[in-house]
Structure 1
Amino acid sequence: MDSLTLTPKDAGASDMGSSLGSSMPGFAPLAMPVQSFKRFSRRDRRALVAPRLARAPVLTRLLIFGGALALTAYGADQMFKVVAVGTITPLEWAMVVLFVVTFSWVTLSLTSAVVGFVWLLAHRGRREPTPRLRERTAVVMPIYNEAPSRVFGAMQAIFEDVERTGQAHAFDFFLLSDTTDANVWIAEERAFVAIRARLPQARFYYRRRRKNLARKAGNIADFVIHWGGHYPQMVVLDADSLMTGEAIVGLAAAMEADPDAGIIQSQPLVINRNTMFARLQQFAARIAGPVIGAGLSAWMGRDGNYWGHNAIVRTRAFADHCGLPDLPGKPPFGGHILSHDFIEAGLMRRAGFTVYMLPDLGGSYEESPPSLIDLAARDRRWCQGNLQHARIIGARGFTLATRQHLAHGIMGYLASPLWMAQLLVGIVLVLQSHYIRPEYFTKEFSLFPAWPRFDYERALQLFELTIGILLAPKFLGLLLALIDPKTRRGSGGALALVASTFVEIIISAALAPIMMLIQSGSVAQILSGRDTGWNPQRRDDGSIPFSSIARRHRSHVLLGLITLFAAGLISPSLVVWMSPTIAGLVLSIPLSWASGNRSIGLAMRRIGLLRTPEETSPPEVVDRANALAAELARSGDDRDDALQAIAVDPALRVLHESFLAEAPRHRRGEVDVETAVAAAKLNDAQTLEDARAWLTARERVAVLGDRALIAMLARLPSAADRPNAA
């Protein structure tokens, strides 16, 4: 595939013809050649226009990575001394190795957070004036079976906020649908027509792909291939994204001012969350997130990463250098690249464009999963995508920083099974030292038996150091929040801010062992060859049935009880030492239930816990998006049955057919199964109710995508209108 170029058909387009003229601008195609991970010549890398800006932050990297290395060396030395009281056994060596690997992971987070803290202190209050934009920018939002009232309401709010900046002339807005639900599809078309009627001055466009090949990456590629030539750059959003007009204009201005920039990433904050778990994430992202993000930005420099949304991308550079190949073999390690954004950033850097983040931009928002189980479902897909990067990390031409980003993502998921292995080895060692009698007469001559012995006092000190390193980024974020009047007041005051931080730490500590087991299970499933799906995410707050929660966590409870029993046999002090892990596992069912409970989250809000400034005084774009979503949802279009609506409303039927592209031509002998079966069922149906009852979800989509089948559907009478049979 190395020499191929993506075409509209490859990208999953629908042989789009003139019928899309009313919903999309004219074609402006860009070729998107598929890149090779095995071949790359440095001669193909473009020369930087402003090399001074792209210089690596060597001193910052030395401070962060050198500091992490020094702390890791100290921790390794202390851990060695813990077990070196006697002869070191193989299990003790395993404990040392596992500790060093996991400890190095947390030390890097600490040193990065310290640098981020200093950077934010030095850059507080700085604001650059935004110049007048010269070029046209596309704002694109890929959507997949989302509630149309939410996404169209969000896009309208974004447009109105951009309009307030006086620079709306520089932006076109696109909703790029990969929806596979027939009801949502028709609701999207209704919402698109309505938003155009409400905002005739805006340039809003809508397109639905017939086949959602390559998922989100394919959706964006399809847009670039067909219409990318119109736009020097594009702001890429997610379906749950919101950005202020100032933030979007700021990204566009930064891209125009930097000819070397390939991708500029903003740092989104979490908003609109009400369940306990989501509020926990929202608070942590608001208080500790800026410190972590600024630290990342400081050491990455122009060798940054891309998170796939709330960022601006140079369109032609993306087309020229970011065409993704399918990996050889079957999923989970073959097929489409799931975590495509990391790879796109790496390919952009390889081509000679810079990638960086603006941590102080502000006005960039997203939402988070409403419960622990919802996070686990999304996390399973991210886990597969990051482990898939093990096949790409050695790609020719990637910069060292790109490889570090990929390694960091892989380690983010391997850390959980390594942590679990460390705990298990520790328990085995303690059991061994307490219950297994030493063998005094071995084959090898020795005056003393070889059995595990520990320096328990040093071990406790090392444990305290590790906990301090883990919590330091949270307290650095808390300190920054306390000295910033706006953040302090918006979080309910100093006392509420401190109390919320401790509540977040306690609940997160209880949830951590559950996530450890969930991620360890995900890693095991992926390594055993199990692929994940790509189901739409639950965006709204809502509880999961208790029976489903109990089934999901019963193995976690069992493991917690076994650990409690084993630790109790050994020593009460061991139970105390392991109490956070044991409590989290034993209480995993009620904790998971509480995590998705909206009433608990709202109760915490009422007493002033886990508040954020964006919640206390919501940005105008957030308030407007929420109000529009509620207003549009009341119309009922989101829940209408698509077949019923198309059959009984001739005007809607004409509108829908105007959006349809010409059906793709099949080679002789090829038959689309869903279309053929749907035609047979419609031919056999005597009433509209028959058709609605018989057609499957895929067959419904096939009917709505074929003008001939739509005509058959429209001819069916309703059961109420059909004369009674004799």
Structure 2
Amino acid sequence: MTPVASLAPAVPPEAPLAMPVQDLRRWSPEDGHREGPHPTPWPARLFVFGAAALLTAYGAYEMYQVVSVAGSATWLQLLLLLLFTLNFSWIALAFTSGLLGFVALLRQRRPAPPPGPLTSRTAVVMPVYNEATARTFAAIEAIRESIEATGQGARFDYWVLSDSTQSDAWIAEERAYLTLREKLGPGARLYYRHRPKNHHRKAGNIADFVSRWGGHYDHMLVLDADSLMSGECVLRLAAAMEADPDAGIIQSLPLIINRNTLFARVQQFAARIYGPVIATGLALWSGRDGNYWGHNAIIRTRAFAAHCGLPDLPGKPPFGGHVLSHDFVEAALIRRAGWGVYMLPDLAGSYEESPPSLIDIAIRDRRWAQGNLQHARVIGTAGLRLPSRQHFATGIASYVASPLWAAQLVVGVALVLQTAYIRPEYFPSEFRLYPIWPRFDPVRALQLFGLTMGILLAPKLFGLILGLLDGAVRRASGGAMRLVLSALIETLLSALIAPIAMLIQSGSVLQILLGRDTGWNPQRRDDGSIPFRDIVRRHRWHAILGLVTGAAAFAIATSLFLWMSPTILGLVLAIPISWASGQLAWGLALKRLGLLMTPEERVPPPIALRAKALEAENAARGFDDADAIGALHADPALREGHLAMLPPPSARPRGRIDPDRTLAEAKLAEAVSAAEAAAWLTPKERMAALHDPRLVETLAGLPE
């Protein structure tokens, strides 16, 4: 039997906040917050963008010297120069930003003093969407325990905001919530809300909470379903928000933990060793014009409500409709209104997980690609700060870079073909004293290749150097030799995956430009392999393209084949690489050898250990294993709790028939048992039936 805690309300009384939809075409600074004086990091910005511009100019000059013919260039060579310059500018900016972060992290920083007593109230909110209930409720319970252990737990409430569209996931959440609330007792301050329709997805989920209950809270700490944050980290974020009355969003830097497949452990290692360098550089030049990543961040609730109501963009998806990557837009809008947005990259105790395989991350990346390209419709919003526009441009460029790289390869091959098979024109029609001799400077080309690779790999080297200099990180990573070897393994695997990711992202960009919308599937967060036939189906064209390209390059010129060999090798091996990426055994084998280790893996954070233990307890209760209809039919207490948590029924307009509810009612009327009803109802009909108290009672009256 599922406890119902005397049917205490699952939510407190509403405390609405108005959340007006923002106008992207007009803005008056008088409508925003009057921010106090804060320094702008102009020296950091001048260094990052100025040095990147100089590097790009130098690289472009050298490329022109490589491909030019007697001081002039053909249109194909100029196209190659343009593509190279665009791609080079992207890695140059990452290099200078990483260099800034590296220099800053070389300096020893004093640990911040512990935060004092808090005076504000904060809601810890976890949006969920068809997630594994055992995991999500273990996480919220572990976070709550950690905050309570600080002695300041009374300042926090905890919310699970469900947008689940699968009946089994929804009822599993209710079972887990009722069980946990009974376990914690009357002072739990734990709430649960399920939306009948997941309008505007996660952004709409958060907006619904803010507009209905946001008035209770000064701040909200937004999590993801795979987030973990220690009590001390949460307190420091809340204290930082209290200490800065002009702050709107303060973002932490979540580290990846709990990953064991080969691909996920590579990501985990890279995020831990290289991530702080990149994040610190970004935080330094962004200053208070920073960005928001959608989770593991604290937000000033009233500022968010007043300025972050997202409009629907004109037209249909993928470029129209609701804003998919809402976090960047929310950060830009709240900053437009005068509220600071910044990151605390050195704040410990913020964690997340990552997809377990290359295919899983490609599925998530497709959604991110659409969201970032959609920002082309938002980047011109009136009143935005220039750094906010830069964040949009960076996000767009991160996905446009793949087709640009692919185009650069194609143009490079075309130039080689032109050199190999088309007779050059030594004496053009215009008068010249000397013939034009085709020239390709191999020495300069090699030097430029070395410069490009150095700039590309430098942020990894910066992180490795910092890891070697930090005794605790070095020892936790298995010592200096293992740390260096781990970095080499990560670099090699990343280089092999890069051409596969290039084609996947290029395909995603092409699909988006052709008007194909992506869905919103829940992210697979567990460790485990994908069926081999699915891997072959997804990567067969990558492997075929690699074989064809390799054969063609070798036939044209051995030098071309050698130049393209890293790309060719990654594509030819796409199927085995993708298969290996999801292998748990391979990741664990490297772990046993002490490779790709991180400090958080060597000595797991207490909150991660506690969440794992609670997840095992929840799994033993079988929250995620039961059929929703069977569970409600067999457990009167759960059914009573479910009915108590349903929102009040809304009046149906005359003449408007809900086909799913109508069919569910008809099927329940004809079913002779609950098992038969469960077999007959479609997923949508199940959801319609479980939202209707009368149909739930009809279900309860059926025999098993």
Do both share a fold (TM > 0.5)? yes
| Paired position in structure 1 for 2:67 | 83
* Paired residues for 1:32-43 under 5 Å: 32-43=19-30
CA 1:334–1:591: 2 relative to 1, 3 Å: same
CA 1:645–1:133: 2 relative to 1, 3 Å: same
Matched, 1:428 2:414: yes
| Paired position in structure 2 for 1:7 | none
* Paired residues for 1:294-443 under 5 Å: 294-438=280-424
CA 1:66–1:440: 2 relative to 1, 3 Å: closer
Once the two structures are TM-superposed, the CA of residue 443 in structure 1 deviates from its matched residue by 6.6
* 1:161 maps to which of 136, 146, 153: 146
Once the two structures are TM-superposed, the CA of residue 665 in structure 1 deviates from its matched residue by 1.3
Matched, 1:686 2:672: yes
What are the Cα deviations for residues 81-103 of structure 1, in whole angstroms up to 9, with x where unaligned?
Answer: 11124341100000000001100
Once the two structures are TM-superposed, the CA of residue 36 in structure 1 deviates from its matched residue by 0.4
- CA distance in 1 between partners of 2:435 and 2:236 (Å): 69
Q: Residue 537 of structure 1 aligns to a residue in which SS?
A: coil
Letter in 1 for 2:58: Y
- CA distance in 2 between partners of 1:363 and 1:637 (Å): 28
| Paired position in structure 2 for 1:721 | none
Q: Residue 577 of structure 2 aligns to a residue in which SS?
A: helix
Once the two structures are TM-superposed, the CA of residue 204 in structure 1 deviates from its matched residue by 0.8
* Paired residues for 1:117-128 under 5 Å: 117-128=102-113
Once the two structures are TM-superposed, the CA of residue 141 in structure 1 deviates from its matched residue by 0.4
* 1:549 maps to which of 535, 541, 559: 535
Letter in 2 for 1:83: V
Q: How many residues align?
A: 697
- CA distance in 1 between partners of 2:119 and 2:398 (Å): 41
> Contact 1:517–1:556 (CA<8 Å) still a contact in 2?
yes
* Paired residues for 1:54-65 under 5 Å: 54-65=38-49
| Paired position in structure 2 for 1:104 | 89
What are the Cα deviations for residues 581-625 of structure 1, in whole angstroms up to 9, with x where unaligned?
Answer: 111000000000000111111111111110101011000000000
| Paired position in structure 2 for 1:592 | 578
- CA distance in 2 between partners of 1:362 and 1:486 (Å): 14
Q: Which moved more, 1:451-460 or 1:207-216?
A: 451-460
| Paired position in structure 2 for 1:190 | 175
- CA distance in 2 between partners of 1:220 and 1:448 (Å): 71
Once the two structures are TM-superposed, the CA of residue 687 in structure 1 deviates from its matched residue by 2.1
* 1:639 maps to which of 602, 618, 625: 625
* Paired residues for 1:614-625 under 5 Å: 614-625=600-611
* 1:71 maps to which of 55, 58, 77: 55
Once the two structures are TM-superposed, the CA of residue 637 in structure 1 deviates from its matched residue by 2.0
- CA distance in 2 between partners of 1:445 and 1:623 (Å): 79
Letter in 2 for 1:168: G
Q: Residue 192 of structure 2 aligns to a residue in which SS?
A: strand
Once the two structures are TM-superposed, the CA of residue 46 in structure 1 deviates from its matched residue by 2.3
Letter in 2 for 1:180: T
| Paired position in structure 1 for 2:443 | 457
- CA distance in 2 between partners of 1:685 and 1:475 (Å): 66
CA 1:452–1:216: 2 relative to 1, 3 Å: farther
> Contact 1:138–1:173 (CA<8 Å) still a contact in 2?
yes
- CA distance in 2 between partners of 1:550 and 1:439 (Å): 47
- CA distance in 2 between partners of 1:320 and 1:652 (Å): 38
CA 1:415–1:20: 2 relative to 1, 3 Å: farther
Letter in 2 for 1:77: Y
Q: Residue 126 of structure 2 aligns to a residue in which SS?
A: strand
Letter in 2 for 1:106: I
Once the two structures are TM-superposed, the CA of residue 127 in structure 1 deviates from its matched residue by 1.9
CA 1:251–1:123: 2 relative to 1, 3 Å: farther
**CA RMSD of superposed structures (Å):** 1.5
Once the two structures are TM-superposed, the CA of residue 432 in structure 1 deviates from its matched residue by 1.2
> Contact 2:134–2:619 (CA<8 Å) still a contact in 1?
yes
> Contact 1:88–1:452 (CA<8 Å) still a contact in 2?
no
* Paired residues for 1:426-575 under 5 Å: 426-438=412-424, 453-575=439-561
Once the two structures are TM-superposed, the CA of residue 21 in structure 1 deviates from its matched residue by 6.4
Letter in 2 for 1:572: T
> Contact 2:69–2:437 (CA<8 Å) still a contact in 1?
no
What are the Cα deviations for residues 303-353 of structure 1, in whole angstroms up to 9, with x where unaligned?
Answer: 100001000000000000000000011000000100111010111111111
What are the Cα deviations for residues 370-391 of structure 1, in whole angstroms up to 9, with x where unaligned?
Answer: 0000000000000000000001
Normalising by structure 1, we get a TM-score of 0.94
Once the two structures are TM-superposed, the CA of residue 113 in structure 1 deviates from its matched residue by 0.7
- CA distance in 2 between partners of 1:680 and 1:543 (Å): 41
Once the two structures are TM-superposed, the CA of residue 29 in structure 1 deviates from its matched residue by 0.4
Gaps of 5+ in 2: 1-5
Q: Residue 99 of structure 2 aligns to a residue in which SS?
A: helix
Q: Residue 471 of structure 1 aligns to a residue in which SS?
A: helix
> Contact 1:20–1:660 (CA<8 Å) still a contact in 2?
no
| Paired position in structure 2 for 1:144 | 129
| Paired position in structure 1 for 2:274 | 288
Matched, 1:24 2:24: no
- CA distance in 1 between partners of 2:626 and 2:552 (Å): 56
* Paired residues for 1:136-285 under 5 Å: 136-200=121-185, 201-285=187-271
> Contact 2:277–2:462 (CA<8 Å) still a contact in 1?
yes
- CA distance in 2 between partners of 1:171 and 1:55 (Å): 32
> Contact 2:69–2:436 (CA<8 Å) still a contact in 1?
no
- CA distance in 2 between partners of 1:329 and 1:349 (Å): 26
CA 1:452–1:140: 2 relative to 1, 3 Å: farther
Q: Which moved more, 1:142-151 or 1:687-696?
A: 687-696
Q: Residue 451 of structure 2 aligns to a residue in which SS?
A: helix
CA 1:316–1:438: 2 relative to 1, 3 Å: same
Q: Residue 32 of structure 1 aligns to a residue in which SS?
A: coil
Letter in 2 for 1:640: A
| Paired position in structure 1 for 2:3 | none
Once the two structures are TM-superposed, the CA of residue 566 in structure 1 deviates from its matched residue by 1.4
- CA distance in 2 between partners of 1:21 and 1:29 (Å): 21
Letter in 1 for 2:50: G
* 1:628 maps to which of 611, 614, 629: 614
| Paired position in structure 2 for 1:12 | none
- CA distance in 1 between partners of 2:496 and 2:635 (Å): 54
- CA distance in 2 between partners of 1:451 and 1:375 (Å): 48
Once the two structures are TM-superposed, the CA of residue 689 in structure 1 deviates from its matched residue by 2.2
> Contact 1:433–1:453 (CA<8 Å) still a contact in 2?
no
CA 1:657–1:439: 2 relative to 1, 3 Å: same
| Paired position in structure 1 for 2:663 | 677
- CA distance in 1 between partners of 2:194 and 2:500 (Å): 39
Letter in 1 for 2:169: V
Matched, 1:132 2:126: no
- CA distance in 1 between partners of 2:437 and 2:608 (Å): 62
* 2:634 maps to which of 639, 642, 648: 648
Q: Residue 158 of structure 2 aligns to a residue in which SS?
A: strand
Once the two structures are TM-superposed, the CA of residue 43 in structure 1 deviates from its matched residue by 2.4
What are the Cα deviations for residues 491-510 of structure 1, in whole angstroms up to 9, with x where unaligned?
Answer: 11111101000000000000
- CA distance in 2 between partners of 1:102 and 1:619 (Å): 39
> Contact 1:237–1:309 (CA<8 Å) still a contact in 2?
yes
Q: Residue 621 of structure 2 aligns to a residue in which SS?
A: coil
Letter in 2 for 1:189: E
Alignment identity in percent?
62
- CA distance in 1 between partners of 2:481 and 2:561 (Å): 32
Q: Which moved more, 1:574-583 or 1:292-301?
A: 574-583
